[in-house]
C-alpha cells in the first residue's frame, strides 16, 4: 500500500518528540495530521514540512486535555477522508513535585493531558481500524510508568495509568490485526527540560524516539513490539 493512501495521526506535533515524529514520517511520504494549542507553532511546522519534505500535513489547533478538544480534532481528522494507519498518542505535560506538596489540581491536569487525551482519541479512531483490520497505536508512556521516582508526583501516576491503558488496548485489539506499542522512555531533550542545568549530552534525542517508533511500525504485520524501554546511555536523570 502506498503511504499516501493512509495517514499518521500524531498528537502534540509542534515540539520535542512530536515534532521529530512529524518530520520522520513526512520524510517517508506519509500524510500527517497533528495538533497543538498554539497556532503560531502549527504555522511554523507547516512551513518546515512543506520546505523540507513537500508532503501533505494537516494541522489543527486543539486542547486535548478536554474531551471537547478531542472531539473537534477527531472531526478534523475525518474531514481529511484518509483512513488512519498509525495513531501516536504523544501529547503530555510534566510538572515535577511531591504528591503531598504539589499544588491542588496537579493530578487532574496531568491525568487529563497524559491519560484522557489518549483514551478518548483512541476510542474515537479505533472503530475504523477494526473495520479495516489494520493499524498501529503507539502510546508515549515513560520509565515513570514502571517505577516511581522522587519528585515525580502526579506525573508518575498519570504515566502508570497510560501504561495500563496501553496494555489493555493490546489485549483487546490483537485479534483485529491492530498493533499496540508502549514507548517507555527516559529523559529526552524537549522543552520540558528548558532551564535545567544538565549537560545536553545526558539526554536522549527526540529523533531517537521517532526512529524507534518508525522502525517498530516497519516490522511485518505478523510481529509487534509490545513495549520498548529507552534510557540515556549514562542512565536516568
Asked if residue 2 has pLDDT above 70, the reply is no
Is the entire prediction scored with pTM above 0.85?
yes
Q: Could you give the angle at which helices 206-217 and 16-26 cross, rounded to 10 degrees?
A: 50
pLDDT of residue 196: 87
pLDDT tens digit sequence for 29-52: 999 999 999 999 999 999 999 999
pLDDT tens figures, 146-181: 999 889 999 999 999 999 999 999 999 999 999 999
Please list the active-site residues. Answer: 145, 155, 159
**Cα 105 from Cα 40, distance rounded (Å):** 28
**Which pLDDT belongs to residue 193?**
86
Question: What pLDDT sits at residue 102?
Answer: 94
pLDDT score for 192: 80
Domains of the chain in start order, with CATH, are 3-230 (3.40.50.720)
CB atoms within 10 A of CB 121: 24
Instruction: Kindly indicate the confidence band of residue 61, based on its pLDDT and cuts at 50, 70 and 90.
Output: very high
Amino acid at each position: 500500500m502506498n503511504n499516501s493512501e493512509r495517514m499518521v495521526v500524531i498528537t502534540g506535533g509542534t515540539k520535542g518528540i512530536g515534532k521529530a515524529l512529524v518530520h520522520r514520517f513526512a520524510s517517508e511520504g506519509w500524510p500527517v495530521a497533528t495538533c497543538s494549542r498554539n497556532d503560531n507553532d502549527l504555522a511554523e511546522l507547516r512551513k518546515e514540512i512543506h520546505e523540507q519534505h513537500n508532503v501533505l500535513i494537516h494541522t489543527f489547533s486543539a486542547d486535548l486535555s478536554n474531551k471537547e478538544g478531542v472531539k473537534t480534532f477527531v472531526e478534523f481528522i475525518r474531514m481529511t477522508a484518509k483512513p488512519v494507519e498509525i495513531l501516536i498518542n504523544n501529547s503530555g505535560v510534566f510538572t515535577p513535585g511531591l504528591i503531598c506538596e504539589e499544588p491542588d489540581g496537579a493530578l487532574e491536569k496531568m491525568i487529563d493531558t497524559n491519560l484522557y487525551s489518549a483514551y478518548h482519541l483512541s476510542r474515537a479512531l479505533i472503530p475504523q481500524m477494526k473495520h479495516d483490520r489494520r493499524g498501529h497505536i503507539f502510546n508515549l508512556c515513560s520509565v515513570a510508568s514502571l517505577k516511581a521516582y522522587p519528585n515525580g508526583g502526579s506525573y508518575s501516576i498519570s504515566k502508570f495509568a497510560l501504561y495500563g491503558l496501553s496494555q489493555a488496548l493490546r489485549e483487546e485489539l490483537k485479534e483485529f490485526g491492530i498493533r499496540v506499542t508502549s514507548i517507555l522512555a527516559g529523559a529526552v531533550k524537549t522543552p520540558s527540560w528548558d532551564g535545567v542545568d544538565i549537560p545536553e549530552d545526558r539526554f536522549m534525542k527526540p529523533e531517537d524516539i521517532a526512529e524507534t517508533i518508525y522502525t517498530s511500525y516497519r516490522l511485518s504485520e505478523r510481529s509487534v513490539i509490545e513495549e520498548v524501554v529507552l534510557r540515556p546511555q549514562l542512565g536516568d536523570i
